[in-house]
Amino acid sequence: MAESLSKSSASVGDAATDASPTKFSHVRPQDTAFVDQGLRDFFLYRDLGIAEATGGKLLVQLVKANLPPEQGTGWHRHEAQFHVVLMLKGWARFMYEDKETLVAAGDCVHQRPGITHFLFDYSPDMEYLEIVGPADFGTVDVEGPCAVPAVTPWPAGQNAA
């Protein structure tokens, strides 16, 4: 069972500047499952409880491949102040504006606020940790600045999950 203890960040010490309440959070793998109810239907998402613990300041989730890439995410940008992706397994190919970027296991990407991007290809074993602030960030479809390369087909009949 996930633990959650209330603690005001302002009472932690003089260095705390935000008095919004936050909670201790400990989420184990058996506490939350991967579900297909996230932003993209071809990925699975596992909530790590941080949105609730931070009062919506941050979303921290695991994201993994579920279905082969066909259309990708399309060109979009996020209405977020902070967005980091840490690739845990596999790889993903992004277009960040007009630059193709391969993000492989161990790589960390900071997506600056408002950057136009397109996740267009990924391996069947792709899994990444995503940290976004605020937790209820928006996503806006936009015109892309360039063409997107072709995807790498998965072996016949292979699904990730």
Q: What is the pLDDT of residues 69-111, one digit of tens each?
A: 988 999 999 999 999 999 999 999 999 999 999 999 999 999 9
- pLDDT per residue over 20-56, tens digit each? 789 999 999 999 999 998 889 899 999 999 999 999 9
> What are the structure tokens assigned to 20, written together?
């919004």
**Short-list 45, 89, 92, CA closest to 72:** 92
Q: How far apart are CA 96 and CA 23, in angstroms?
A: 35
Q: What is the pTM of this model?
A: 0.85
Q: What percent of the chain has pLDDT over 70?
A: 87
Does 14 score more than 70 pLDDT?
no
| Residues 103 and 59 sit within 8 Å (Cβ to Cβ) | no
| Residues 76 and 40 sit within 8 Å (Cβ to Cβ) | no
Question: Which of the four pLDDT bands, split at 50, 70 and 90, describes residue 9?
Answer: very low
Task: Look at domain 41-149 and name its CATH class.
Answer: mainly beta
pLDDT score, position 21: 85
